[in-house]
Amino acid sequence: MKTVAKTGNEAMAYAMKQINPDVVAAYPITPATEVVQIFSNYVADGEVDTEFVAVESEHSALSACVGASIAGGRVMTSTSSQGLALMHEILYIAAGNRLPIVIALVNRSLSAPINIHCDHSDTMGSREAGWMHLYCANSQEAYDSLIIALKTAEATAVPAIVSTDAFILSHAMERLEVLEYSDVQNFIGEYKPRFSALDLENPKTYGPLDLQDYFFEHKRAQIDDFSKVLDAYDKAAKDYAELSGRYYPAVEEYKTEGAEVAIFAAGSTADTAKEVVDDLREQGRKVGLVRMRMWRPLPVEQIKATLGKFKAVAVMDRSDTMADFGGPVFLETRGMLYDSEEKPLITDYVYGLGGRNIELTDIARVYDDIEQVANTGKIEKLITYLGVRGEK
Amino acid sequence: MSMKFDRPMNWKELPAGCLIDEAATSLRFKTGDWRSMRPVWNSEKCIHCLLCWISCPDSAIKVENEKITGIDYNYCKGCGICASICPPKASAIEMIREEK
């Protein structure tokens, strides 16, 4: 283990180097370009054994990954925003064919208006594709998460997306600890694919037409296998904690003991909110933070158990559903808690779209709001657009 | 897992990932009933040049000892390539409408 200074992109590229995948097929896109740019240097310098496939689009990038994965390879790529949108149809094909591909992703808003900065609308728009989703709060976590995600993906044959916040994490340098190459290799182990198109002794058909008679059965089986990801993730995360000393639960609690209200947030904003929680706790206020790290599959029972104990919860959504009913985390959180005997009053704060900065004072204001909700038992405003001009 | 075809499998019996995990399963499915036009081979006109055999996309031209013996209607889909490739002087294959 050694201490280094790396940006989020450098940290993810370094994790990819230590994973040393068989194939990486990628197309550059701001702000994730550096991930594969740095990785292509590792390839050119002979520091990895990877076959690097430079393609003409993200659609082709993930398609090449699908082919390489069906051939039995350990496969990774990287993208962001429009790139993920262009991969959209192939996301479903990778997941449906049970190909444990891992994407190092940087969360960026979707056009229009065109913008290169952070929000979560890209991955939130892909959450039904059958991939595991992990949202990272810092560069250390981004490095660690790629390694944990790869292990989980290969154990379950479910592909994974690990994401950081555009520029806030991708381009900001932080201190982090990295493992030795041999430790990473021992942790992930040799990849033993469940099938390989290169296995000429056992020819199979991959991705055949599947109509009214069998499509539903195949989807039902896929949904069932997806439900096993949570346990596999938890095992991988705990094994990784033994190796590194860093444990990342699917749902993280921060100073929730004795808290009456909590913010439920993902990504770098959750780390920012910890500062606010520290300040407010010093003032004696009963506030806590719950960090949403895994959003697919949904850690339903953990979220219900964790959020169920508060009087009021503010969900922080860095994207909107365009349903005129707030963001996706809000909608799904309310859905999960609907049947709970003990449940908080839940409000939504859609914030930070297109990289709009979120200040400590913004987060403090959210705590003010939910304390009032907890005290009065009434929600004055269900959905707030936080930090946008023209709105209180 | 070996695939069963004697009855429809339920979702717990299927190989993961819409995989067909053995080869040549298409032999178990008679796909000739897709056909709307039927090639009729005339053994007296045929010169056994084998152009139809090499051109058939479904390997439905039956051959024994380098001689054509007929058409496998279990798999022939009636595309008509055999009839069109057959040398005009021979014209040994005629396409007729498939009657019920």
How far apart CA A134 and CA A103 sit, in angstroms, is 11
Helix (H, G, I), strand (E, B) or coil at B58: coil
Record: contact A214-B14, CB cut-off 8 A: yes
Provide the CATH number for the domain around residue B50.
3.30.70.20
Residue range(s) defining the domain that contains residue B79: 29-97
Q: Which residue carries 């922080």 as its tokens? A: A316
Query: Domain map of chain A by residue range?
Result: 2-243, 251-386
Query: Does residue B7 sit at the A interface (CB-CB below 8 Å)?
Result: no
Query: Does residue B21 sit at the A interface (CB-CB below 8 Å)?
Result: yes
Query: Does residue B14 sit at the A interface (CB-CB below 8 Å)?
Result: yes
pLDDT at residue B100 in the model? 56
Angle at the Cα of A329 from the Cα atoms of A324 and A330, rounded to 5 degrees: 55
Helix (H, G, I), strand (E, B) or coil at A14: helix
Record: contact A204-B18, CB cut-off 8 A: no
Contacts of A225 in chain B (CB under 8 A): 16
Backbone angles phi, psi at A211, to 5 degrees: -100, -150
How far apart CA A263 and CA A249 sit, in angstroms, is 17
pLDDT-derived band at B2, boundaries 50, 70, 90: low
Among A157, A206, A221, whose Cβ lies nearest the Cβ of B11?
A221
CA distance A90 to chain B (A): 14
Chain A residues bordering chain B (beta-carbon distance below 8 Å) = 96-99, 157, 194-195, 202-208, 210, 213-214, 216-218, 220-222, 224-225
Record: contact A218-B10, CB cut-off 8 A: no
Helix (H, G, I), strand (E, B) or coil at A225: helix
Q: Beta-carbon neighbour count of residue A1 at 10 Å?
A: 10
pLDDT at residue B7 in the model? 83
The yes-or-no verdict on residue A258 having pLDDT over 50 is yes
Residues 6+ apart with CB under 8 A from A273: A263, A265, A289, A316, A363
| ipTM of the modeled complex | 0.83
pLDDT at residue A1 in the model? 85
Which tokens is B96 given? 């007729």
What is the dihedral sign for C-alpha A134, A137, A142, A143? negative
Q: Can you state the percent helix, strand and coil of chain B, rounding each to 5? A: 15, 20, 65
Record: contact B25-A207, CB cut-off 8 A: no
How far apart CA A159 and CA A150 sit, in angstroms, is 8
Which tokens is A390 given? 């023209």
Q: Is residue B23 part of a domain?
A: no
How far apart CA A346 and CA A289 sit, in angstroms, is 14
How far apart CA B2 and CA B19 sit, in angstroms, is 11
How far apart CA B2 and CA B13 sit, in angstroms, is 9
Backbone angles phi, psi at A374, to 5 degrees: -65, -40
Record: contact A205-B19, CB cut-off 8 A: yes
Chain B residue closest to A100 (CA)?
Answer: B17
Lowest mean pLDDT among A151-160, A380-389, B12-21, B57-66: B12-21
CA distance B33 to chain A (A): 18
Residue type, B35: R
Chain B residue closest to A202 (CA)?
Answer: B22
pLDDT at residue B1 in the model? 47
Write out pLDDT tens, residues A34-84. 999 999 999 999 999 999 999 999 999 999 999 999 999 999 999 999 999
Q: Are strands A261-265 and A75-80 parallel, antiparallel or unpaired?
A: unpaired
How many residues does this entry show for chain A?
392
Q: Beta-carbon neighbour count of residue B75 at 10 Å?
A: 18
The yes-or-no verdict on residue A249 having pLDDT over 80 is yes
Chain A residue closest to B15 (CA)?
Answer: A218
Query: What are the residue ranges of helices labelled H in A251-387?
Result: 268-282, 300-307, 328-337, 360-376
CA distance A214 to chain B (A): 8
pLDDT at residue B3 in the model? 61
Cβ contacts below 8 Å, chain A against chain B, sum to 54
Work out how many domains chain B is built from and give that number: 1
Q: Look at the domain A251-386 and name its fold.
A: Rossmann fold (3.40.50)
Q: Mean pLDDT across the stretch A245-263?
A: 98
Write out pLDDT tens, residues A294-339. 999 999 999 999 999 999 999 999 999 999 999 999 999 999 999 9
Write out pLDDT tens, residues B24-51. 888 888 888 889 999 999 999 999 999 9
Domain over A2-243 is classified CATH 3.40.50.970: yes
